[in-house]
Structure 1
Amino acid sequence: MIALFDLDGTLTNPKAGITRSIQYALERLGHPVPEADELTWMIGPPLIASFAKLLGSSDDAQEALRLYRERFGETGLFENEVYAGIPALLQNLQEKGVRLFVATSKPHVFARRILDHFDLSHFFIEIYGSELDTRNADKRDLIRHILDQEKFDPARAVMIGDREHDVIGARANDIATIGVTWGYGSRRELLDAGAACLVDEPRELEAPILTLTASMPPRAVTV
């Protein structure tokens, strides 16, 4: 039994750190700076693509990402909080023999620091994320990389995430996805992408994780 967890919007709520770091980058570039609530669509997807969409230029996006990391790497990654119920969920899954991994588009060097800071790293066998040069930022590539490294059967695994990118990446690698609704993707976004089911609270996650990871092949479940 294997569970891959997204980080932002699934394990932790990173809104303050991410939006403030985006605002910092935009201000440094001399671009208009939206309010934080207008930037939450950028939480989850690869930031380089989101900056390109926001700024209308891939060249500006590269500089925006550099400036974003300038602030995020010092301050923003700790402007974050663990969702209530997540540590208990991870503890219960670990005790039931589920092998836990992190699969985030965030660079793994930042992801590890965040999980260490909140004392969550010990629940996970490995923490996988993108490289600083943006390799594996696409969830399809990242999950393929995880499968190459860990050699587990995708039919005995499930991805847990809050955005369509989690679902798309998992489905491309024949892994079922549980969509969580406390993050930054809508219910419609997750269902349209093909999530096997939706869960509204961390305490409700254990049952579908155990059901899906015990299924061969994966199948939809109702929560």
Structure 2
Amino acid sequence: MDAIYFDLDGTLTDPKPGITRSIQYALQRLDHPTMPTEDELTWCIGPPLRASFVRLLGAETSADLAVTYYRERFSDVGLYENGVYDGIGEVLTSLCASGHRLFVATSKPHVFAERIIDHFGLRDHFERVFGSELDGTRVDKSHLLEYALKQASVDPAKTLMIGDRSHDMVGAKNNGMKGIGVLYGYGSRDELLEAGAHHVCATPGAVLGCIA
């Protein structure tokens, strides 16, 4: 493979505390009648945030305001309630040494993704970080990867997408890429395989064995 795109949340880093607490903060600001626990909100990790708020709130109403409240906390605090998965650094170092071009492709706004990549010292591994815009542009993984492939001038047939959720695999399939699902994040084996994953890996290190 010439180029490899990595999802961020649930693939490179474990963002659970920051994301779930920021969602709770937004729900509190909206005086939501019930408060899900952090564990009950793990399904929100990975998919586009606004869609998750629509589901949580039961309607489109207030979803945009919820995203605004979420970002109030996430941009200053939640961003750093995060951690790189054990073994990721070694995997990235090995792939770079093998001559692969590495990129980040996340539905998270790129302004946040860039800060996370820098904060955890991952910048040197990646040629570029691709994410959505704050207005929701390219939040859909298929659209994001279409843009990212064109920007990097790579052949989709020689490119991998590595992620932990179904939309990572669907985005890869829709763009003629192969997808590798990781099980240490927030998606299940069934979710990933049903979405078209070519391989599923239980650990970061296992990913290396799936890459030619």
What band does the TM-score fall into relative to the shorter chain? over 0.9
Q: Deviations over 1:110-163 (max 9, x none)?
A: 001001000001100000000000111100000011122112100110000000
What is the correspondence of 1:173-192 to structure 2 with a 5 Å cutoff?
A: 173-192=175-194
Q: 2:43 aligns with which of 41, 44, 66?
A: 41
Q: Which string of whole-angstrom CA distances, capped at 9 and with x for unpartnered residues, describes residues 165-217 of structure 1?
A: 000011000001000000000110000001001001111111212x2xxxxxx
Q: CA RMSD in A?
A: 0.7
Runs of 4+ in structure 1 off by over 4 angstroms are: none
Q: Name the CA distance, whole Å, in 2 between partners of 1:75 and 1:154.
A: 36
Alpha-carbon shift at residue 65 of structure 1 (Å): 0.3
Provide, for residues 39-98 of structure 1, a one-character-per-residue CA deviation record: whole Å limited to 9, x for no partner: 000000000111111112223110000000000000001000100000010001001000
* Matched residue, 2:83: 81
Equivalent residues in 2 for 1:1-223, closer than 5 Å: 1-31=2-32, 32-209=34-211, 211=212
Q: Following the alignment from structure 2 to structure 1, what is the Cα–Cα distance between the partners of residues 58 and 124?
A: 40
Segments of structure 1 that go 5 or more residues without pairing to the other structure are 212-223
Secondary structure of the 2:136 match is coil
Give the distance between the partners of 1:151 and 1:125, measured in 2 at CA. Answer: 12
Percentage of matched positions with identical amino acids: 56
Matches of 2:82 and 2:111, distance apart in 1: 16
Q: SS at 1:70's partner residue?
A: helix
AA paired with 2:28? E
Normalised to the residue count of structure 2, the TM-score between the two structures is: 0.98
CA distance in 1, matches of 2:191, 2:135: 28
Say which SS state the counterpart of residue 30 (structure 1) adopts.
coil
